[in-house]
Amino acid sequence: MGSSIAIDGPAGAGKSTIAKAIAKSLKIVYLDTGAMYRAAAYKALQLGIDLLDKTNLASLADNLKIDVQYKNNEQRIILDGEDITESIRTPEISKAASAVAAIPEIRLKLVDIQRSIAKKVNVVMDGRDIGTYVLPDASVKIFLTASVEERAKRRYDELHNKGINDSYADILKDIEERDYKDSTRAFAPLKKAKDAVEIDTTSMSIEEVIERILQIIDKGMGKC
């Protein structure tokens, strides 16, 4: 089994950015599990499934064909043979992903894929429940957090850089709602693993967070 690094935390904590940098530094595979749930949400919206219809959302798992590929060291998400990596990075998909992620049948399907990848290669994986549920035996576990205001500001800046002009107030409200849904869902909720190192990134630069995590990894497992 490969060595694994689990990075968990709420929406907007910088998990994906940090996880990508850590994987690049260690020259190992990065797996963005959130993108997989976004792909499932994309499929649900494509099919016109009501996000409150848990029965139909659960049935989606049976025909969910999601593949993770790597091109030029970048993760690409393939749904039903189509590359949707860019298409799933919208506020609408973000919101829908939280609803989809609460469906046990979908989580079980995607977790099987995630665990299969982690068995084959050394991996950095980020999400909401990696250290607690997906990879409970991960070599190193990190829990990234930041104030909700800081997370909303980061998401606001990210979206505006992409030309998406959502208001700060709407983004803040959306993140607060996602926090509540993610932490109160019945199956594999967002929470800090008992053996995870918590890092509050509110007043830290990306470089400072990366350096801190690399120090933790060196102490916890040495070089991969």
178-200 pLDDT per residue, tens? 999 999 988 889 999 999 999 99
Instruction: Return the structure tokens found at 199.
Output: 């890092």
Cβ atoms 105, 64 nearer than 8 A: no
Spatial CA neighbour of 21 closest among 209, 204, 222: 209
Could you state, in order of their start, the residue ranges of all structural domains in the chain?
4-216
Q: How far apart are CA 92 and CA 191, in angstroms?
A: 24
**Which pTM value belongs to this model?**
0.84
β-strand pairing of 197-200 with 140-145: parallel
CATH of range 4-216; options 2.40.50.140, 3.40.109.10, 2.60.40.420, 3.40.50.300: 3.40.50.300
Q: Name the burial class of residue 169, with classes exposed (0-12), middle (13-18) and buried (19+) by CB atoms within 10 angstroms of its CB.
A: exposed
Residue 73: the pLDDT is 77
The gap from C-alpha 201 to its chain's centroid, in whole angstroms, comes to 17
Q: How far apart are CA 156 and CA 199, in angstroms?
A: 22
Least confident segment among 1-15, 97-111, 112-126: 1-15
134 vs 73: which has the higher pLDDT: 134
Q: How far apart are CA 201 and CA 224, in angstroms?
A: 25
Residue 2: the pLDDT is 63
pLDDT higher than 50, residue 224? no
Rounded average pLDDT over 42-54: 95
Q: 11 forms bridges with which residues in the sheet?
A: none
30 vs 74: which has the higher pLDDT: 30
Residue 3: the pLDDT is 87
121 contact partners, CB below 8 Å, separation of at least 6: 2, 28, 29
Q: How far apart are CA 98 and CA 85, in angstroms?
A: 18
Total count of residues recorded for the chain: 224
Hey, is 74 helix, strand or coil?
strand
